[in-house]
Amino acid sequence: MVRLDQLFDVKNGIASSHVVVLGKPKAGTIPYVRPAKNQQRTIAGWVEKNTVPARHCHPKHTIFVSTNGEGSHTYAYVSDFEFVANSDVSILLPKQKMTLAEKIFYAKAISLNRSKFSYGRKPKGERLKSIKLPDHPPAWVAHTVHHIKPFSFSVSTSFARKKTKLNKPIDLKTVPLIDLFEVQYGTDLGLIYLIKNPQGINFVARTSQNNGVAARVQRLYDVEPTEGMVLTVAGGGSVLETFLQIDPFYSGHDLFVLKPKCPMTIDEMLYYATCIKANQYKYSYGRQANKTLRELPIPAYESIPQWVYGAIKRAATDFTHLLQIAE
């Protein structure tokens, strides 16, 4: 393992006060990126390229890292377009030539260090540079280059929903969440008062990591755990983080449990978890989902796309194939 700055030169972005950010693209503009939890939300707007110093214009396939924001710090991405970064983003320039697959590997490796940082301990400066990374990618990374699919993130359509209607291949009907799920409050326990036990019951909290499981705890004699095959949804904290829980579990504060009103397969449950989480952009730390979750619009049961069925099996088959290539 080596320090990040042994592999990359670290450059800082440019403050928004030094550029004019436009709300939509036009000829001669390039994206202006910001910290975000997913790559689709990194575009803050567009800037005219000829108004920005050349050192702040970065080419396609450049790694950039979010260095600020409680919900977005430490996430690293490989850009699929030329861009300018804001001052809460660091740009990583490899000291040695790297393939696209190697850059994606290092971006993921950097993101996995997120637990070491927080809003009060940001991955800036020396903290970012001192992140430990593998000195070279594992051998299997070289074999993935032919399996990297073109990025689905399109700059031209990233803001399309603001001005156009979606082209719906099916007659998509939406219903309030309460029509399909019983919305219950969890066991509402404080982890600090429980005894941790590696062989115990899952404790699900408002975290975005580890399928929502913050720890395993000793079973209580007077509190029954919630049965599995339900969705857990964070009403606060990491708002609308949604996971399928297979095993019995205890849960913390501001965590909702969604029990299907009709029998659902795992594929269907995971589909609805994704649909619920897709509404995260409507919420923030100051605008939580406690009061509005029940009325959240989600696809009606009869509108579930056909591709959902068998999705887990296809993913497992693809993953097995990659493992075989690595061997």
Residue ranges covered by each domain of the chain: 2-162, 174-318
Helix (H, G, I), strand (E, B) or coil at 35: coil
Nearest alpha-carbon partner for 273 in 237, 221, 218, 312: 312
Instruction: Give the architecture-level CATH label for domain 2-162.
Output: Alpha-Beta Complex (3.90)
| 174-318 and 2-162 share a CATH fold | yes
- C-alpha distances in angstroms, 219 versus 200, 204, 230, 247? 6, 14, 19, 13
pLDDT, tens digit, 9 for 90 and up, residues 42-55: 888 889 999 999 99
Does position 179 have pLDDT exceeding 90, yes or no? yes
- pLDDT single digits (tens) 307-324: 888 887 777 777 676 666
For residue 107, give both structure tokens. 């971006």
CATH 3.40.640.10 describes domain 174-318: no
Q: At what angle do helices 311-326 and 266-277 cross, to 10 degrees?
A: 90
CB 35 within 8 Å of CB 119: no
DSSP string, 48-94: EGGGS-GGGEE-TT-EEEE---TTTTT-EEE-SS-EEE-TTEEEEEE
Residue 162: band (very low, low, confident or very high) from pLDDT cuts 50, 70, 90: very low
Question: Which has more pLDDT, 235 or 314?
Answer: 235
**Rounded distance between C-alpha atoms, residue 125 and residue 130, angstroms:** 9
